[in-house]
Chain A
Amino acid sequence: MNEQTERDGVTDRDVLEATLRFNTLVFSIILGVFAGAALLALSLVAHYGHGMGRLAVALIGVFLPGYGATWPGALLGLFWGFVFGALLGAGIYRINTRNVLERVDELVIAERGANGFARAVLRLDGHSLGLAMGAVAALGLVTTTDMLVARGTAAESVHARLLSEVLPGYTVSVVGSIIGAMELFVVAYVFCRGFVTIYNWVAERRQRR
């Protein structure tokens, strides 16, 4: 499809970019709210739950200044969660939709909505979503591990080292973080492909009915 197609001086690419900005904003806000609420809840559970969740809060607090098992710490967690969740959401959405213009016809299932208006149901692309989630997860692991290395606390990071139980070869070091990131990328990619396969299969069957 020619992306330079113009109507009223506006190309398809312009229309796509405008819609992507809106959808990126929506997805960022949703993920930001989710992440912020999760950190707030975890902090409050650790505060009132007789030690439950304290370890996780302490670990996360290494990366998010001020986050802890107190009310001010929980509110800071809400803030940090929103910020990082929104940034991750924007990154995931943008990577996921980078080739959408060429494949837009494959990514919708049209249905007849109320009042006769056509309304589309979204189809997902497993490869793009897998790349997006895998890249973000891998980058996140490298960044957090290397932060521990840079702080000089790698040797004390007993809990970060636990990841080696599920990611063979991972260590709290620069090389270990790259090995772990590659493995995490593959795991995230495979799970995303599985997720999208199930979603598209169920969505198509429901629309066919």
Chain B
Amino acid sequence: MEALPADHRDAIIMWALAKLDVVAFVAASAAVAGAALLMLTLALVLKGAPPGVPVGPNLAELAVVFPGYSVSAVGALIGGAYASVVGGVAGFLLATFWNVAHALFLAVIRMRANLASYSID
């Protein structure tokens, strides 16, 4: 790791053009998305339903896109795993788009600076 610039102005610009750590962003997105569906499913399982009434019939429709998912303890783990993958992909796309936009912006600045330094004379 490098020391941060002593100049506050430079620190602001560095922060503004900083990239996201894609691996860290994917890990965090996957963990949070997986935990969200896991906890949501377990909450419905713990809450339960009257005899003869299915538990969480609306959430159970996720099985259409997440094969094997159900509103049960095992289903919560399966759903959590699927949600982690979806969250990870979304996190990867978001972090990548952010980094690409800033890399393009930096490239344009560098190109303009280079062009400005040339002289026809």
Contact = CB atoms under 8 A, between A and B. Distances in A.
A180 B33 CA distance: 21
Given A19-B16, A22-B105, A203 B4 contact: no
B24 A202 contact: yes
B11 A104 contact: yes
A104 B5 CA distance: 11
Interface in B1-45: 1-5, 8-9, 11-21, 23-25, 27-29, 31-32, 35-36, 40, 43-44
Nearest to A11: B9
Contacts, number: 126
Nearest to B30: A198
- Chain B residues touching A, majority SS: helix
A198 B1 contact: no
A108 B19 contact: no
Contacts of B8: 1, 5, 12, 104-105
A12 B64 CA distance: 53
Interface of B: 1-5, 8-9, 11-21, 23-25, 27-29, 31-32, 35-36, 40, 43-44, 47, 56, 58, 64-65, 90, 93-94, 97-98, 101-102, 105
The 7 nearest A-B residue pairs measured at CB: A19-B16, A202-B24, A120-B18, A203-B21, A203-B24, A199-B28, A198-B28
Given A195-B28, A206-B21, 14 more contacts: A16-B12, A16-B16, A30-B97, A52-B64, A101-B12, A104-B8, A118-B5, A120-B17, A120-B18, A166-B43, A166-B44, A191-B32, A191-B35, A207-B21
